[in-house]
């Protein structure tokens, strides 16, 4: 853990060496720490440059709300579900062929589904139950190593279980919310006790609930393709603003690509050709602003990946992983942009978490099928 600024605002970098972090990400972290109201800023082990502010960072604010910090996907998070799929009957090629229709609007009652998650809606929402683009995915995984058998058992899991990980968020709702406030004030922020801040927080809370509902419906639709059932293990958001009480004072905790470390065990995904880890937060989490890494962190910017990789790898290398998994992505640009090589090493992220006693691994998850997007075939199946 490196202290970049001792006085207020306190700025910490949750890695062993600054050389592990891009200079641009460090500059963005310090820039964010200079915003009015910041009392504490934390750069996490997966920190990397973002749009103006780094991804993989958390900021604790006194009486200030910044709608632009969580970005265009408020409510984005990662959920883990147990499945009824049998480990002895894994057939990746057959299962992959069955995953159809996930990019299309759901044919169920979205108003009723949202109501189950406390979200009021008056008309159907065609985006609900869809994954979206960018780094979002639904990934079938298998527990291939257990580090704490008792904790895994407490979560209703065991070695070799087939589970589903879903990474997505509030889709168009979060984007609309971002631009509504960006157009009104940009990065100037809102006084925390103002009516405008209260209005934003209400709309933001709806986006967070919508994101949870979306991940749950993606899981339902994905597993329905395989005639399987699901039950939730963990669901943790990593793009959010929340009101917190510390030492009898009220603050606003802003997370940008930073997983909420107060909700118990959750999964930190690796790339589609790397392991993911089910982890349990340790300690009081104050120094790292009650937040933990949400992934491995990007190494290369989007749009640069194909030029770096296409001379060395073919399409089959992108759709069949070294770990034996399958990748479903019929968007060629996205297939290259989300290549495993574009991401940092998840093992190094885990080393930092253990070294600094921020979290411990409970189980390791191996990717089986990573679903990004699939075009509809001519028969419409």
Q: How confident is the model at residue 319 (pLDDT cuts 50, 70, 90)?
A: very high
- For position 380, what pLDDT does the model report? 33
Percent of the chain with pLDDT over 70: 98
Average pLDDT, stretch 321-335? 96
Minimal CA–CA distance to 336: which of 304, 298, 375, 306? Answer: 306
Q: How confident is the model at residue 247 (pLDDT cuts 50, 70, 90)?
A: confident
Residue 379 pLDDT exceeds 70? no
Is 339 annotated in a binding site? The answer is: no
Is 135 annotated in a binding site? The answer is: yes
Q: Are 57 and 239 in contact (CB under 8 A)?
A: no
Is 40 annotated in a binding site? The answer is: no
Is 101 annotated in a binding site? The answer is: no
Is 304 annotated in a binding site? The answer is: no
Average pLDDT, stretch 345-373? 98
In a domain, 350, yes or no: yes
In a domain, 255, yes or no: yes
Quote the CA–CA distance of 112 and 332 in Å, as a whole number: 35
Residue 352 pLDDT exceeds 80? yes
Minimal CA–CA distance to 201: which of 10, 322, 63, 37? Answer: 63
In a domain, 353, yes or no: yes
Residue 23 pLDDT exceeds 70? yes
Average pLDDT, stretch 184-194? 84
Read off the CATH number of the domain in which 362 is found.
3.90.1860.10
Is 296 annotated in a binding site? The answer is: yes
Q: Is 330 a catalytic residue?
A: no
Burial of 111 (0-12, 13-18, 19+ CB in 10 A): middle
Residue 132 pLDDT exceeds 90? yes
Q: For the stretch 59-93, what's the b/e string if a residue is b when 16 or more beta carbons lie within 10 angstroms of its beta carbon?
A: bbbbbbbbbbbbbbbbbbbbbbbbbebeeeeeeee
Residue 35: which domain range? 2-373
Quote the CA–CA distance of 240 and 260 in Å, as a whole number: 9
Q: DSSP string spanning 187-216?
A: TS-EETTSHHHHHHHHHHHHHHHHHHHHHH
In a domain, 303, yes or no: yes
Q: How confident is the model at residue 186 (pLDDT cuts 50, 70, 90)?
A: low
Q: Are 240 and 255 in contact (CB under 8 A)?
A: yes
In a domain, 138, yes or no: yes
pLDDT digits (tens, 9 = 90+) for 77-130: 999 999 999 999 999 999 999 999 999 999 999 999 999 999 999 999 999 999
Instruction: Indicate which residue of 294, 304, 320, 356 is catalytic.
Output: 294
Is 251 annotated in a binding site? The answer is: no
Pairing of strands 10-13, 2-5: antiparallel
In a domain, 44, yes or no: yes
pTM of the model: 0.96
In a domain, 380, yes or no: no
In a domain, 378, yes or no: no
Identify the DSSP state of 15: S
Residue 311 pLDDT exceeds 50? yes
Q: Give how far Cα 214 sits from Cα of 75, 79, 171, 209, 267, Å.
A: 10, 10, 9, 9, 18
pLDDT digits (tens, 9 = 90+) for 26-75: 999 999 999 999 999 999 999 999 999 999 999 999 999 999 999 999 99
Total structural domains within the chain: 1
Q: How confident is the model at residue 377 (pLDDT cuts 50, 70, 90)?
A: very low
């Amino acid at each position: 853990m490196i202290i970049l600024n001792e006085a207020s605002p306190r700025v910490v970098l949750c890695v062993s060496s600054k050389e592990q972090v891009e200079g641009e990400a460090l500059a963005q972290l310090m820039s964010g720490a200079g915003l009015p109201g910041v009392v504490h800023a934390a750069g996490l082990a997966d920190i990397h440059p973002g749009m103006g502010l780094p991804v993989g960072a958390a900021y604790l604010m006194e009486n200030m709300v910044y709608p632009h910090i969580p970005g265009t996907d408020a409510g984005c998070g990662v959920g883990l579900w147990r499945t009824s799929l049998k480990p002895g009957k894994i057939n990746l090629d057959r299962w992959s062929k069955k995953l159809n229709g996930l990019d299309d609007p759901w044919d169920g009652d979205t108003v009723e589904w949202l109501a189950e998650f406390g979200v009021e809606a008056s008309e159907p929402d065609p985006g609900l139950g869809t994954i979206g683009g960018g780094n979002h995915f639904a990934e079938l995984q298998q527990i291939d190593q257990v580090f704490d058998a008792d904790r895994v058992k407490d979560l209703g899991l065991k070695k070799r279980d087939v589970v589903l990980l879903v990474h997505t968020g509030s889709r168009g709702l979060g984007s609309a919310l971002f631009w509504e406030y960006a157009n009104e004030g940009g990065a100037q922020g809102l006084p925390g006790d103002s009516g405008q801040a209260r209005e934003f927080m209400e709309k933001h809370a709806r986006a967070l609930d919508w994101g949870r509902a979306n991940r749950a419906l993606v899981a339902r639709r994905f597993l329905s393709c395989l005639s399987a059932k699901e039950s939730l293990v963990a669901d943790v958001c990593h793009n959010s603003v929340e009101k917190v009480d510390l030492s009898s004072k009220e603050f606003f905790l802003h997370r940008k690509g930073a997983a909420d470390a107060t909700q118990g065990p959750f999964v930190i995904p690796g790339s589609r050709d790397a392991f993911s880890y089910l982890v349990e937060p340790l300690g009081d989490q104050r120094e790292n602003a009650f937040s933990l890494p949400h992934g491995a962190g990007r190494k290369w910017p989007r749009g640069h990946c194909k030029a770096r990789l296409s001379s060395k790898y073919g399409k089959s290398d992108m759709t069949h992983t070294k770990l034996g998994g399958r990748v479903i992505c019929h968007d060629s640009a996205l297939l290259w942009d989300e290549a495993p090589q574009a991401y940092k090493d998840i093992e190094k992220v885990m080393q930092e978490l253990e070294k600094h006693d921020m979290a411990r691994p409970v189980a390791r998850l191996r990717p089986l099928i990573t679903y990004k997007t699939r075009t509809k075939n001519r028969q419409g199946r």
